[in-house]
Amino acid sequence: MKRDLYDKLISWKDSPARKPLVLQGARQVGKTYLVQEFGRNEFEKMIVLNCDKDPRIRQIFEKDFRIERILSDIEILSGQEITAGNTLIFIDEVGEAPRALASLKYFQEDAPQYHVVVAGSLLGLAIHEGVSYPVGKTDEFYLYPLSFPEFVRAKQGEALYERLMTGSLEDLTGLSQLLKDLLREYYFTGGMPEVVREYLAGRPYTDLRNIQKQILADYALDISKHASTAILGRIHQVWNSIPQQLAKRNSKFIYGDIQKGARAKDFELAIEWLLDAGIIYKVPRVRKAGIPLKFYEDFSAFKLYLLDHGLMGAMVDAPISGILLNQNIFEEYDGTFTEQYVYEQLVASLSTGIYYYDSETSKLELDFLTQGQQALLPIEVKAGENLRSKSLKTFHEAYPQSKPIRISLSDYRKQDWLINIPLYAACRIKDF
């Protein structure tokens, strides 16, 4: 399955300003597979060093940071000669070898002619536990689960993918039923590569659900293996509460919904652990709108989303037939899956911060708020075809320079003050 990030890897390879590359992302989103495909296709040779599987790799970086010696040791260990320009050095699970990560500084300063990529599932966690990070000495990419357009390409091919990503939104109307059907399938599979791959291979739906549950079990094992005993139980409490938190009419995260009388200080470290592991997302609140939005962030309130909506379906045992056959699945569960899905598409396609808006002076709330170069983009998510947008209208009246966007099951339409983007084209919000 081709990933959108592949083209960025090629650009990185050819860039004269290239630095060693750090590829981050949660476990099982496809980092190792992507880099190995990249290495096989774009280089004459590739050396793969897995810091978790082979303790000898960690020892290479324990002596000193002389790049000449490090390269020599890698050649001896791998049995391959390293040639600048046509050999990819891939250091996987680099969080298990802190000095390997630190060595990237010296690769950049003393040997920039070599192509070096490091990846790690728990890299964010390792960095916050004291691993020395080579700030300013690396390029950084982040890999998410497959977006809906990537799923469309895997299932239907390049032509529909290109139409969805770059074609006229008006012209997508004739393909809306096909895209809605694909979206229903994606609601079930989610974007974890193993699940999508096995779905395309024709595996039974019950087997796919078991794969999702195994991924969840692997995440739970990671939590138990790497988290301190002091916060272990609270991490599991936060993780397990997220679907129920999102299912509320106001999906703001409430500590008291986890445990009666709970306060922020009880669960802050647990939330930070899950964020560092890359398996949840945090969307802060802003109570006042302005550019840059970061100035108006309210640290006291936020929403939490899971890494992948397919995994959420497995967490709550959402009936498989209900997702695949129910024509109203987009509206089921009070639109919880739809809000989760939309956020995943936004975070994968936007480079700016994503917030939600909750007014200081009224009960007005917007699902998401982000910014373009010149204007705010308030976003309202509608799980069905209900086109009433009172909240967007009120926000636009208060901030007339904003560009309101409604994401709904309806087809693309542009009004004087509002743009409606169909759910299956949520990725196209970047165009605005």
Q: By 3-state DSSP, what share of the chain in percent is helix, strand and coil, each rounded to 5? A: 50, 15, 35
What's the domain range around 99? Answer: 5-142
Long-range contacts of 161-168 (CB under 8 A, 24+ apart): 164/424, 164/425, 164/427, 164/428, 165/427, 165/428
Bridge pairing between strands 139-142 and 115-120: unpaired
Ramachandran angles phi, psi of 49, nearest 5°: -120, 115
- Residue 315 neighbours by CB distance under 10 Å: 16
Phi-psi region of 263 (alpha: psi -120 to 50; beta: other; left: phi over 0): beta
Q: What is the mean pLDDT of residues 129-143?
A: 86
Most confident of 329-343, 378-392, 402-416: 402-416
Among 142, 165, 191, residue at a domain's last position: 142
Residues β-bridged to residue 421: 407
State how far the Cα of 51 lies from the Cα of 28, in Å rounded to an integer.
17
Residue 250: the pLDDT is: 76
Q: Are residues 24 and 91 in the same domain?
A: yes
Q: What is the mean pLDDT of residues 221-240?
A: 93
* Average pLDDT of the chain to the nearest whole number: 92
| Model pLDDT for residues 298-317, shown as the tens digit of each residue | 988 999 999 999 999 999 99
| Model pLDDT for residues 15-39, shown as the tens digit of each residue | 999 999 999 999 999 999 999 999 9
- Whether the predicted pLDDT of 132 surpasses 90: no
Q: What angle do CA 355, 361, 367 make, to 5 degrees?
A: 25
Residue 334: the pLDDT is: 58
Burial 33-54 (b: 16+ CB within 10 A, else e): bbbebbbeebbeebbebbbeee
Q: What is the mean pLDDT of residues 372-383?
A: 90
Most confident of 95-104, 148-157, 242-251: 148-157
Residue 372: the pLDDT is: 85
Residue 226: the pLDDT is: 87
Q: Are residues 132 and 38 in the same domain?
A: yes
On the 0-12 / 13-18 / 19+ scale of CB atoms within 10 A, 199 is buried
Residue the block writes with tokens 């694909």: 182
C-alpha distances (whole Å) from 58 to each of 55, 98, 127, 160 are 5, 8, 17, 45
Q: Are residues 191 and 268 in the same domain?
A: yes
Residues β-bridged to residue 376: 371
Among 138, 64, 131, 125, which Cα is nearest to 98's? 131
DSSP label at residue 159: H
Q: Are residues 167 and 112 in the same domain?
A: no
Q: Are residues 161 and 130 in the same domain?
A: no
- Residue 89 neighbours by CB distance under 10 Å: 24
Bridge pairing between strands 21-24 and 115-120: parallel
| Model pLDDT for residues 80-125, shown as the tens digit of each residue | 999 999 999 999 999 888 899 999 999 999 999 999 999 988 777 6
State how far the Cα of 374 lies from the Cα of 432, in Å rounded to an integer.
11
Among 317, 335, 421, which Cα is nearest to 378's? 421
Q: Are 242 and 306 in contact (CB under 8 A)?
A: yes
Q: How many domains does the chain have?
A: 2
C-alpha distances (whole Å) from 367 to each of 40, 303, 380, 404 are 42, 10, 5, 12
State how far the Cα of 175 lies from the Cα of 391, in Å rounded to an integer.
30
Q: Are residues 79 and 175 in the same domain?
A: no
Residue 71: the pLDDT is: 97
State how far the Cα of 300 lies from the Cα of 97, in Å rounded to an integer.
36
Residue 90: the pLDDT is: 98
Among 92, 119, 142, residue at a domain's last position: 142
Q: What is the mean pLDDT of residues 347-356?
A: 92
Q: Are residues 71 and 178 in the same domain?
A: no
Q: CATH no. for residue 89?
A: 3.40.50.300
Q: Are residues 337 and 205 in the same domain?
A: yes
Helix, coil or strand: residue 379: strand
Q: Are residues 123 and 213 in the same domain?
A: no
Q: Are residues 275 and 253 in the same domain?
A: yes
- Whether the predicted pLDDT of 386 surpasses 70: no
- Whether the predicted pLDDT of 197 surpasses 90: yes
State how far the Cα of 423 lies from the Cα of 420, in Å rounded to an integer.
9
Q: Which of 74-88, 228-242, 258-272, 361-375 comes out lowest in average pLDDT?
A: 361-375
Q: Which two tokens stand for residue 371?
A: 């910014």
Q: What angle do CA 145, 231, 101 make, to 5 degrees?
A: 55
Helix, coil or strand: residue 5: helix
Bridge pairing between strands 21-24 and 405-408: unpaired
Rounded to two decimals, the pTM is 0.93
Q: Which residues contact 3 (CB under 8 A, 6 or more apart)?
A: 30, 34, 143, 146, 150
Residue 267: the pLDDT is: 95
Among 87, 120, 142, residue at a domain's last position: 142
Q: Are residues 115 and 182 in the same domain?
A: no
State how far the Cα of 87 lies from the Cα of 47, in Å rounded to an integer.
7
Q: Are 295 and 316 in contact (CB under 8 A)?
A: no
- Whether the predicted pLDDT of 326 surpasses 90: no
| Model pLDDT for residues 36-64, shown as the tens digit of each residue | 999 999 999 999 999 989 989 999 999 89
State how far the Cα of 280 lies from the Cα of 247, in Å rounded to an integer.
16
Q: Are residues 249 and 298 in the same domain?
A: yes
| Model pLDDT for residues 163-185, shown as the tens digit of each residue | 999 999 999 999 999 999 999 99
State how far the Cα of 192 lies from the Cα of 230, in Å rounded to an integer.
30
